[in-house]
Amino acid sequence: MKVAVIGAGQLGRMLALSGYPLGIRCEFYDRSADTPGGQVGPITTGEFDDIAALATFAARADVLTFDWENIPVSALQPLAGLVPIYPQPAALEVAQDRLLEKTLFRDLGIPTPPFAPVDLRSDLEAAIERIGVPGILKTRRLGYDGKGQARIMKRSDIDAAWAQLGGESLIYEGFVRFSRELSLVAVRSTRGEVAAYPLAENVHKNGILAETRAPAARITTLQRTAEKYVRAVFDRYRYVGVLAMEFFVADGKLIANEMAPRVHNSGHWTIEGAQTSQFENHLRAITGLPLGSTAARGHAAMVNFVGRMPSTTKALAVAGLHLHDYGKNEARPGRKLGHATLVAPTARARDTALAKMRRLT
């Protein structure tokens, strides 16, 4: 079985590594061959909007997927007659636009922060009048890891926010005073089989995921609710593949922030911490294989290495630590270079080890 992967970042790399034991071979398409995915599988280089090159690439595979959600949907649509594409481009299109995404959540009855589209300065004024402050002004497209956002904590912040982001298609969202951030990684196969991992608790720094603990504490009711919300998205699109949904917890209830139609950073703990990793289950789902168990093996933690990698010697001196170096050729501030995970028999033991992992960053 051959899987074509558009995008060859660290997510693609981990997909390929999980596929080899199953006899699944991943080939990549990216703008450069010097990528994490290109180190572990064949790679074709070209622009993401080069439909002819993408068609030649896709035609060699049994199924096509992607590891990056900013691929032009207009470039994927002509490929649908050549090869099955999972997740479906319709779901990708919604996830690429924060306004469409929040509208989807609202239509499906999934709680989300109050929001309003903003194209003009007068739209922002009207949105703030209706929703109030504090709030966050965001670009509708292409923003990720905290990029393309400006906080408006008081009305005097409007000028600076507009100077930073004005001129693009924007969305204004009411600020959620949350107690913690959770994410659910779930998967649906071509056979209609659905499985969900335990909710994970996440900590972000400067808009970038810093660490994850799974399973999150005190989540029995929230787990059922989160799975219901994700199933609603699955049903809307007859979705195939892994989907991640991020939530705020406010007053004990889930508020959906965003979704990602792909394997997700907050699910990296599943490589060592679950019976079947999110990467293997994504490949199982899109190739029609039975899904694997999503049960946790114990209590897992993950720490992202952003901007610099730790000393390998010091990292591996932490008992039970598993190091993942993405092999990127350049370290720079804000760039994800790798991560580490560990699995412990109890939450207390995990958190003790996690404190040691934090000191590596």
Q: Count how many domains the chain has.
A: 3
Please say if the pLDDT value at position 145 is more than 70.
Answer: no
Residue 235 sits in the same domain as residue 327: yes
Prior bond of 84 cis (ω within 30°) = no
Whether pLDDT at 22 is above 70: yes
Task: State how far the Cα of 318 lies from the Cα of 329, in Å rounded to an integer.
Answer: 25
Question: Domain residues for 170?
Answer: 114-174
Q: What tokens does 13 get?
A: 């790399």
pLDDT value at position 148?
A: 87
Q: Give the domain CATH number at 53.
A: 3.40.50.20
Average of per-residue pLDDT across 34-54: 96
The residues with which 316 forms a beta bridge, in sequence order, are none
Report the run of H or E that residue 300 belongs to, with start and end: strand 299-306
Q: What CATH number is associated with residue 157?
A: 3.30.1490.20
185 and 66 share a domain?
A: no
CB–CB of 199/226 below 8 Å? yes
**Orientation angle between helical segments 278-287 and 10-19, nearest 10 degrees:** 70
What pLDDT was estimated at residue 178?
96
Query: Do 24 and 119 belong together in one domain?
Result: no
The yes-or-no verdict on residue 165 having pLDDT over 90 is yes
Residues 246 and 321 occupy one common structural domain = yes
User: For a pLDDT cut of 90, what percent of the chain falls above it?
Assistant: 94
Q: Are residues 212 and 351 in the same domain?
A: yes
